[in-house]
Structure 1
Amino acid sequence: MGAGRLARYDLHLHSCLSPCGDDEMTPATIVGLAKLGGLDFIALTDHNTVKNCPYALEAGRFYDLPVIPGMELCTREEVHVVCLFDSLPGALAFGDAVYEKLPDIANDEEIFGHQYICNTDDEVVGKLDKLLINACDISIYDAVPMAARFGGIAYPAHVDKSANSVLSNLGFLDADMGFTIAELADIAKAPDLLQRGLLPPDIKTITNSDAHYAKDIKNPARPEYLPSEIAGLLERLLKTA
């Protein structure tokens, strides 16, 4: 799993715990559809929480599909950052730290949607009270070192989108942020962003679905490049699984 490995993956998926996610996107459903679609491994990355990751990993063991526990962190700057972890305990501890940094604003299900924690039998076993799509009191400059303290890596999400991306919100991606990977919604835009100097010349680019609905989960026709940072994290996760 070194640098340059090719793989079929989707590392940005939302479950029914994200208020903007479809209620049908239970952890077991996501894993089952990913397996059926031919993906090699996935990550579950709900907004500012990892509480459905234990059930996604359990479903992954049932379907023999590796699942990386993760989160889509919303920083103080309202920039979305994907955080992935090499162990479930590390991810859960990171999740607790992030939840403490969320503003104490209750979710209104009628406006924003449900925030369901679901087990592998698709049963609702809990909810989270705070609205998960708010910005946390965590700077984008702290995302990489904070994730690392819990055995994780971090990279900016969908940098080419017009909302909640580092380029749309800040207009730049600098070296002090510490990112070595950038996620694009459309990987074909990478050469243009690099040529215009909006991405560092040595950054690695990947694409994921950011799926909130089952129909949007990636079903790739061919393998894609996998950065060594993610390959190494996956190796560590599998050794402790």
Structure 2
Amino acid sequence: MEKLKERLDMFSDAIIAIIITIMVLELPMPVHDSFKEYLQFGKAIGIFFISFCFVANLWYQHAVLYNDADTITNRVFVLEFIFLAFLSLTPIFTKLITEDTNRHTVMAYGVLTLIVNGLFILVSYAVIRQKYQDLTEIRRLFAKIYLNHSNFLGAVNLIVLFLAYFQPQWALWCYLTLPVVSFIFNREDHTDLEDVTKLPREDQSQYLNLSSGELRTYRKKQREIVQKYAHQRRTNPNWQAEMAQEIQTLFRQNGRKLKQSRTAPQQFKRRFPK
């Protein structure tokens, strides 16, 4: 199954490369030397970049996901092919909004992106769960780490989809920023999942009990640690090990604070609020 995993990964890369190539070839070339046609050509390039960012972001997430996978199950195969089938529709829907940008074409494009993103979440969970024996625990970790951002992005997609009915031009350019935000979130989520799964079971449970506010505070401190060691890559040969150790220490500190706050008397909490 390991060889099949490599072949599936290469197959997916080839499909994504073809998708981007088709989108480039579908760009309408100016036929006459007129300002109107050049303006339309510029708009088409802008729409191409929207779809390019969408597909490229999924390729990056896909590459990171499969880099950690050891084998592939039949469930992953089925979900992967369904995901690629819908992703392959991107050039067609891109051409639709290029030729006629109206509420119907932009909303259709938005629905496609929602479906593709939803399918990729299913693929991600199917790949990640293979690495862990305790399915209940990894389900909780996946929900805690990935679904918070996924639900937020899904809600934003629905808002943009609603906006497309009234202002399709504005909604179209909103779709350019969503892959960038998704890319940032995915990098954080993948790092969190790697770090949390390396912790002892007790520390993992404490992490799962963090509130949304505590999780945001943790991630802010985590980014500060990453930025700190990013400047040491050339001068410190052990920067990766030291960064991992400091992030794990941060996990434990958050867990201890949470445990102490939940075991403290209620009167103490009221007297000394956070």
TM-score class, shorter-chain normalisation, is under 0.3
Q: What TM-score results when the alignment is normalised by the length of structure 1?
A: 0.27
Structure with higher strand content: 1
Structure with higher helix content: 2
Q: What TM-score results when the alignment is normalised by the length of structure 2?
A: 0.25
